Chains A and B, each alone.
Chain A
Amino acid sequence: MFALVDAVAFYASAEKVFDPSIRFKPVVVLTNNDGCICAICPIARKLNIPKFEPYFKIRPYLEQHNVVVRSSNYELYADLSERMMTVINRFCDDHYVYSIDESFLRFTGFSKIIDDWADYGHIIRRAVWRETGLPVGVGFGTTPTLAKAANHAAKKLSGYNGVAVIHDDISRQEVLMRMDVTDVWGIGSRLGRKLKVMGIKSAWDLANQNPKEMRRMFSVVVERTVSELNGIACLSWDEVKQNKKEIYSTRSFGERVSELNTLKSALVTHAAIVGRKLRKQQSLAKRLVIFAASSPHEDLYYKKSLLYDFPIPTSDTSVIASAVSDVIDDIYKANTRFYRCGIGAIELESELFQQADMFSVSKDNPEVMACLDAINKRYGVGTLSLGSEKLTKSWSMKRAFLSPHYTTRWSDIPIIDCD
């Protein structure tokens, strides 16, 4: 048996843990630089606030309904996430943290101990709620994909109350029939549209497809999804978290940027982030996309995106940064109010299987990078960085509606009224 435990609107729920004054109010949380809405609490959901809508567009509507708006308080979320995961960890020996607010559990040999999975789910749910103040949904299924489907049912479908179990054909059909095909794990919106054209509308429709046929028409991933929906476990932990095939680091600026050096230092910082992520998963970048753009909501929209090919694949931050220096003059345009920029490593190779090149020598310096990573791991990201990252700091993140760092800063701990 597998389980997926995840928090209900995690960022929004986290905001409510240490602020009782907003617990019964609609709350939304904004992304980096207060750009879009990324989390909507269940109370706010009833106001039909669309997710990923630019904040400035929906602001009048939010004000009209007295919706509480918060910037992303990553310091708080990271701390609460760790607490939540540690509590969940008590309930299963095979625990896999999938994202900041989701974790998979694999129960092997538990069938003799546990006869009522729903009951066990409620015990997990109550423990996390009591000890961290976070509401979670628990879904059980005989495969990871079914556990994810059950989790969806637990949180979104009526009659489940936070816990759903798919353990036989009846419970499986009941959940899958009520689930849109795009809500199935691994079925994106694009693929979902194609499936719907073919008449495959619900998760149950998808489960009843011929897996081999699905592989022929789409991919092995869809074939596996169909098998998983039929109770045949195909995914293991390693596959659940595959190495990323593309690595992006992009961000919008806190304030508009018009100056060449500021744009450059921002791009170099993204180069450093991409480099760190490449090294973490032991990949090398063959091709980069480097881009900068003004806001599409303003006049004179400008966007420039360039591809950069490395003669020898690299994961060295300074080599990636030098690519930025090579292209910055082509990307920059004077008198432009740049709104966002970023770097993506879009063609990756494994560090382990490298064909040596007879005519060019790698400029990578793995020892220096290992040292950089070790220092930043120990003393915090940004302790050691490239000089060109620090040209200016005016592009750092804007968080106008940030709540206090209740659990990580002495100056921010909650006030307890004793009057």
Chain B
Amino acid sequence: MFVIPIFIEAGITGFESPAAEYVELGISIDELIIKHPNATFIGIASGQSMQEVGIFDGDLLVIDRAEDVSTGDIIVASYNGSFVCKIIDKSQRLLISASKDYKSVYISNDDDFKLEGVVTASIRLHRNKAEVNRCLPS
């Protein structure tokens, strides 16, 4: 949604605010982290394998389908029936975890695999997560 900032001025009887001429829209988180609104969706991370790049269990992931993917990007793919978040190596066809405790996965021709999008941002809520956490398996 695009909002044109026009503020109500009628009824001001005293001093007009000296800042009135300088009013801008408040900053928006969406504007900062969503480049292609129609191609972007939000998911929730479940698991530990991406902690080394700062994605923790329960973090929100902003996934952009319109971004070009190159080797080394953190991506979300559908892999044999579920969404996974990994680092992609396109030339070697590998899905790499950030954590050393997890092995890389080779994408074979028998796998159902599709790149869904690039993780352009991840968000950690430090409070008020009840609503969001409801979608995680307990």
Considering the chains assembled together, what is the distance between the CA atoms of A280 and B46 in angstroms?
46
Number of A-B contacts (CB under 8 A): 96
Chain A 381-411 against B: per-residue CB contact (8 Å), 1 yes, 0 no? 0000000000000000000000010110011
Partner of A413, one of B47, B55, B81, B135: B135
Considering the chains assembled together, what is the distance between the CA atoms of A96 and B32 in angstroms?
31
Segment touching B, from A20-28, A197-205, A308-316, A327-335:
A20-28
Cβ of A367 under 8 Å from chain B: no
Cβ of A419 under 8 Å from chain B: yes
The answer to whether residues A418 and B38 also contact, given A20-B83, A411-B134 and a CB cut-off of 8 A, is no
Interface range for B: 35 or more
Partner of B85, one of A86, A87, A133, A418: A418
In the bound complex, do residue B137 and residue A415 qualify as a contact, i.e. CB atoms below 8 Å apart?
yes
Chain B hits for A414, CB < 8 A: 41, 43-44, 83, 135
Cβ of B33 under 8 Å from chain A: no
A358–chain B nearest beta-carbon distance, Å: 45
In the bound complex, do residue B78 and residue A418 qualify as a contact, i.e. CB atoms below 8 Å apart?
no
The chain B residue with its CB closest to the CB of A407 is: B41
Cβ of B88 under 8 Å from chain A: no
Partner of A418, one of B39, B47, B134: B47
Q: Which chain B residues numbered 55 to 113 have a C-beta less than 8 Å away from chain A?
A: 55, 57, 60-61, 63, 65-66, 76, 78-79, 81-85, 102, 112
Cβ of A116 under 8 Å from chain B: no
Partner of A23, one of B78, B102, B132: B78
Considering the chains assembled together, what is the distance between the CA atoms of A24 and B7 in angstroms?
52
In the bound complex, do residue A417 and residue B47 qualify as a contact, i.e. CB atoms below 8 Å apart?
yes
Considering the chains assembled together, what is the distance between the CA atoms of A177 and B115 in angstroms?
39
Partner of B45, one of A82, A87, A404, A418: A418
Chain B hits for A82, CB < 8 A: 38
Considering the chains assembled together, what is the distance between the CA atoms of A18 and B134 in angstroms?
17
In the bound complex, do residue B135 and residue A23 qualify as a contact, i.e. CB atoms below 8 Å apart?
no
Chain A hits for B47, CB < 8 A: 417-419
The answer to whether residues A413 and B42 also contact, given A21-B81, A23-B78 and a CB cut-off of 8 A, is yes
B61–chain A nearest beta-carbon distance, Å: 6
Chain A hits for B41, CB < 8 A: 18, 406-407, 413-414
Considering the chains assembled together, what is the distance between the CA atoms of A28 and B112 in angstroms?
21
In the bound complex, do residue A418 and residue B84 qualify as a contact, i.e. CB atoms below 8 Å apart?
yes
Chain A hits for B49, CB < 8 A: 418-419
The chain A residue with its CB closest to the CB of B82 is: A417
In the bound complex, do residue B65 and residue A133 qualify as a contact, i.e. CB atoms below 8 Å apart?
yes
Chain A 330-349 against B: per-residue CB contact (8 Å), 1 yes, 0 no? 00000000000000000000
Q: List 23 A-B contacts (CB under 8 A).
A: A20-B82, A21-B81, A24-B112, A131-B66, A132-B38, A132-B39, A410-B131, A410-B135, A413-B60, A413-B135, A414-B43, A414-B44, A415-B135, A416-B44, A416-B61, A416-B76, A416-B84, A417-B47, A417-B84, A418-B45, A418-B50, A419-B47, A419-B102
Interface residues of B (CB under 8 A from A): 36, 38-39, 41-50, 55, 57, 60-61, 63, 65-66, 76, 78-79, 81-85, 102, 112, 114, 116, 131-132, 134-137
